[in-house]
C-alpha cells in the first residue's frame, strides 16, 4: 500500500511565487491544483478565476470546482494563497480609489475565498498561508501605497482571527501570513534592474519553508504568525509578528 | 463683518452618531452636509448614497454634489466619517463572504471616499475622522466577526497613512480614527436591554471631543491617533494608539 499523495491548492499558482510552489510540490509528488486567472500547465489541475465576477460568484465557481476535483471525502493538506499584486498612490492620486479597490480584490478576496475553502476542504492539522506584507507591520504608515497597506493590514487581521480556535477552520489548522520584503522574481529584476539582488528573498526559500510546515508540524511557529522574511547577503532570516 | 460659518461634512449623517454630530454642529451654527443612504432633515444639505453603485460610481456622485454645494473656493473645515455597521461570522459561517463584503463597503469605501474628498475640499489645518474600532487593536483576533475586524484594521492603517505628510491631504490636516467600544445608541439599547449602560460611551462625548479638535488645534492629539474611548461609571477616558 502506498501512502496517499499530499494535496495542495496554490491560489495565485501562475504568479512567480505560485509557479515556484506548484513546481516545488510537484517535484515532491504532491497533487497540486492551481487557482489563478490563467492556467499553470505544470499543475495537476487548474481552476480559472474570472476577475470580473463578484466575490460571491468567484467563490461559488472555485468551490464547485474544488468539490469536483477532490474525490469523495478527500481533503487538502494545505491551501497556499500567494495571490496579489502591487499598486501605489496616496489620497490625491487619480488612481487612488481604483487602485485601492484592485488591491482589495487581489489580496483580500483571494484570502477570504481561501479561508472559506479551508473551512470545508482542509484536513485537520493542515496548513494555510496568506499573502501579507512587511510594510504595514505595527501600523507603519504606507502613504505611497495606501490601498496596498490597507489590504495587507486586513490580511494580517484575518490571519490572527483564523488562527483563533473560534475562527471556523478545522482543528489544529496552522495559519500564517508570509511577509516578504522583496521577492527575487523575474518581474522585480526587470523593473528594478539596478537593485541589490542579494537583499531579495529567493522563491526557493519560501517553498522550502512552507514544505517544512506541511511535513513536520513541530517546525511550525505559533499559530497566526506573521512571518517576515528579511534577506541580507543572500541569507534570509525570518522574524515572527 | 461676521466670521464665515464653519462647514462640516458628516458621512453617515443619518445614523445615531451621525445624527448627533449633525445636530451638535447645527446648534453651533456650522453649515452641515450629511452624506448617507437616507436624508437627515436637520442638515443644511444632504447627499444621498446609492449603496448598489460601485466604489467609483459612489465617489463620483458624492464628489459632484460636494462641488456644487460648496461656493467657489469654499472649503470644508472637517470631514467626519461615522459610517459603518456591524456584522459577525467566522470562516465557516454561511454569511462569511457576504458579511465581510458588506463590512468593507460600509467602513472602508466610505473612508476611501472621505479621504478623496478631503484631498480636494478640506481646508489646511482641517479635521478628518474615520470609523475605527477597539476590537482589532494590536492585532487582537476577532474570530466572531472576521470581516468587521478586517475592515476596521484597514481603516486604522488608512488613518496612519493619511496622517503622514506624503498621504495626499492638505497641509496640517489632522486625521484620527474614533474607536468606541460600545456607543450608547437607541439601537444598542434595543438589542442589549440588560447591558450596563454606564459602560457605554455617550454620543455627546464624541461630538464634544470632535468640536474641540476643530475649534482648537492645540487640543488635538498626535496626528494619526487611534482614539480609543473607554467608559466606566458614566466616565469616558480616551487612550491613544
Give the integer Cα–Cα distance in Å for B214 and B145. 33
Tell me whether B223 touches chain A (CB under 8 Å).
no
User: Does any CB of chain A come closer than 8 Å to the CB of residue B97?
Assistant: yes
Domains and CATH numbers, chain B: 7-240 (3.40.50.720)
Query: A158 to chain B: which residues are within 8 Å by CB?
Result: 146, 149-150
pLDDT in tens, B6-27: 999 999 999 999 999 999 999 9
Which regions of B15-121 does DSSP assign to beta strands (E)?
31-36, 45-48, 76-81
pLDDT at position B66 is: 97
Catalytic positions of A: 148
CA distance B108 to B127: 18
- Could you tell me the CA-to-CA distances from A233 to A41, A200, A230 in Å, in that order? 34, 9, 10
How large is the C-alpha radius of gyration of chain A?
Answer: 17
CB neighbour list of residue B79: distance below 8 Å, 6 or more residues apart: B8, B9, B11, B114, B117, B118, B121, B122, B126, B127, B128, B129
B137/chain A closest Cα distance in angstroms: 10
C-alpha distance from residue B47 to each of A13, B26, B65, B106 (Å): 44, 17, 7, 16
Chain segment B148-179, per-residue pLDDT in tens: 999 999 999 999 999 999 999 999 999 999 99
Q: What is the pTM of this model?
A: 0.96
Among A111, A100, A217, which Cα is nearest to A147's?
Answer: A100
d(CA A73, CA A163): 24
Which segments of B122-225 does DSSP mark as H helices, in order? 146-163, 186-191, 203-215
Q: Tell me if A145 sits within 8 A of A94, measured CB to CB.
A: no
Q: What is the ipTM of this complex?
A: 0.96
For the segment A151-167, the average pLDDT, to the nearest whole number, is 98
Task: Quote the minimal CA–CA distance from A114 to chain B in Å.
Answer: 9
* Contact with chain B for residue A144, Cβ under 8 A: yes
Task: Give chain B positions within 8 Å (CB) of A120.
Answer: 92
Summarised one tens digit per residue, pLDDT across range A67-107 is 999 987 799 999 999 998 899 999 999 999 999 999 999 99
Tell me which chain B residues have a C-beta less than 8 angstroms from the C-beta of A97: 55-56, 59, 112-113, 116
Residue A152: what pLDDT?
Answer: 98
Please compute the mean of the pLDDT values over residues A125-132 and round it to a whole number: 98
Q: Ramachandran region of residue B90, left (φ > 0), alpha (ψ -120 to 50) or beta?
A: beta
Residue A197 in contact with partner chain B when CB distance is under 8 A = no
Q: Residue B76 corresponds to which cell in the numbers above?
A: 470644508
Beta bridge partners of B31: B7
Residues of B in contact with A163 (CB under 8 A): 141
3-state SS class at B167: coil
Catalytic positions of B, written as ranges: 148
* A117 at B interface, C-beta within 8 A: no
Amino acid at each position: 500500500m502506498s501512502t496517499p499523495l499530499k494535496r495542495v491548492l496554490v491560489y495565485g499558482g501562475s504568479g512567480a511565487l505560485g509557479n515556484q510552489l506548484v513546481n516545488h510540490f510537484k517535484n515532491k509528488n504532491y497533487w497540486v491544483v492551481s487557482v489563478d486567472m490563467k492556467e499553470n500547465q505544470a499543475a495537476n489541475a487548474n481552476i480559472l478565476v474570472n476577475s470580473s465576477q463578484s466575490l460571491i460568484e468567484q467563490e461559488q465557481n472555485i468551490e464547485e470546482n474544488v468539490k469536483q476535483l477532490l474525490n469523495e471525502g478527500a481533503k487538502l493538506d494545505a491551501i497556499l494563497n500567494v495571490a496579489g499584486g502591487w499598486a501605489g498612490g496616496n489620497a490625491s492620486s487619480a488612481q487612488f480609489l481604483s487602485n485601492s479597490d484592485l488591491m482589495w480584490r487581489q489580496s483580500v478576496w483571494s484570502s477570504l475565498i481561501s479561508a472559506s475553502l479551508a473551512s470545508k476542504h482542509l484536513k485537520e492539522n493542515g496548513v494555510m498561508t496568506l499573502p501579507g506584507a512587511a510594510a504595514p507591520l505595527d501600523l507603519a504608515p504606507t502613504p505611497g501605497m495606501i490601498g496596498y497597506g490597507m489590504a495587507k493590514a486586513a490580511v494580517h487581521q484575518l490571519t490572527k482571527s483564523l488562527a483563533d480556535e473560534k475562527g471556523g477552520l478545522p482543528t489544529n489548522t496552522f495559519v500564517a501570513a508570509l511577509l516578504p520584503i522583496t521577492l527575487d522574481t523575474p518581474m522585480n529584476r526587470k523593473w528594478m534592474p539596478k537593485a541589490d539582488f542579494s537583499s531579495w528573498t529567493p522563491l526557493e526559500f519560501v517553498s522550502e519553508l512552507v514544505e517544512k510546515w506541511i511535513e513536520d508540524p513541530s517546525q511550525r511557529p505559533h499559530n497566526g504568525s506573521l512571518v517576515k522574511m528579511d534577506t541580507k547577503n543572500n541569507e534570509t532570516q525570518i522574524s515572527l509578528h
